Structure 1
C-alpha cells in the first residue's frame, strides 16, 4: 500500500509542476480531496 501512495504522490507532484496547477485543480484532475493532495505532497518522506 505504501508503494502505491508514494507513486501517487510523485504523479501528483509531477502534474502540479508540469501544469503549474493549484491544489484545487490537481484534486479535481485526480478525483481526490484537496487535503489528500496536500498530505501526499508534503509527507513524501513520512
Structure 2
C-alpha cells in the first residue's frame, strides 16, 4: 500500500476519534468520498494499525446507530423553519 494512503487513513481515523465525526464529515474535511473514508478506516487501516482501526470503528458504529435520530431531527428542523416563514 502506498505511504500516502496509510497516512491519510491514520489522519482520518484520528479525526473521527477526536471529534466523533461521521463518515460524511470526515469525507468533507479531507476532500475524499464517503466510500474512501469507509474503505480507509474499515479495510486498509486494520492492516497496519489494528488498535487505531478498532477505536475509529467504535465511533463509526455509534454514529451509524444514531443516524436515524439525526435524520429525524434534521427533518423536524426543516419543517419548523418552513412554518416560521409563513
Partners in 1 of 2:24 and 2:17 — Cα distance? 14
Q: Give the unaligned 5+ runs of structure 1.
A: none
1:2 deviates by: 1.1
Report which structure shows greater RCO (CA 8 Å, sep ≥6): 1
After TM superposition, the score normalised by the length of structure 1 is 0.90
Quote the RMSD (CA, aligned, Å). Answer: 1.5
After TM superposition, the score normalised by the length of structure 2 is 0.50
Bigger radius of gyration among the two: 2
Structure 1 SS opposite 2:21: coil
Deviations 1:1-46 (A, max 9, x none): 6111001000000000000000000000111100000000012218
- Tell me the number of residue pairs that the alignment of Structure 1 and Structure 2 aligns: 46
* Higher helix fraction (1 or 2): 2
Q: Give the unaligned 5+ runs of structure 2.
A: 49-86
